[in-house]
């Protein structure tokens, strides 16, 4: 699992509980489905860090319609999308 560095590069709350979700090895639509399912289970003050092998572009409009803020950070090893209630 990647370090916390991508999380600190975003505007996500730094004092919130953080959950990680690895979906890089999954084919579509599993990353989108698993991310939305995990978000539904988390408390509103939690931050979800999704580790993927690509930017989850189909996820973005769904996050926006549900009131989430998010930022995606590309590293040399993975794409990390940090998601929190906006």
Q: What is the CATH number of the domain that holds 46?
A: 3.30.110.40
Instruction: Please state, as a whole number, how many other Cβ atoms lie within 10 Å of the Cβ of residue 32.
Output: 18
- pLDDT for residue 6: 82
> Which of the four pLDDT bands, split at 50, 70 and 90, describes residue 2?
very low
DSSP code for 5:
H
DSSP code for 86:
-
Candidates 41, 1, 33, 36; CA nearest to 20 is 1
Q: What distance in Å separates the CA atoms of residue 83 and residue 65, rounded to the nearest whole number?
A: 13
Candidates 57, 74, 59; CA nearest to 6 is 74
Number of domains in the chain: 1
Q: Which domain holds residue 16?
A: 5-85
| Residues 21-77: tens digit of each pLDDT | 999 999 999 999 999 999 999 999 999 999 999 999 999 999 999 999 999 999 899
């Amino acid at each position: 699992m990647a370090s916390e560095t991508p999380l600190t590069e975003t505007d996500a709350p730094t004092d919130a509980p953080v959950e990680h979700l690895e979906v890089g090895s999954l084919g579509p639509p599993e990353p989108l489905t698993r991310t939305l399912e995990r978000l539904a289970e988390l408390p509103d003050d939690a931050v979800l860090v999704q580790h993927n092998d690509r930017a989850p572009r189909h996820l973005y409009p769904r996050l926006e319609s549900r009131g989430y803020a998010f930022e995606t950070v590309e590293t040399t090893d993975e794409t990390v999308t940090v998601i929190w209630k906006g």
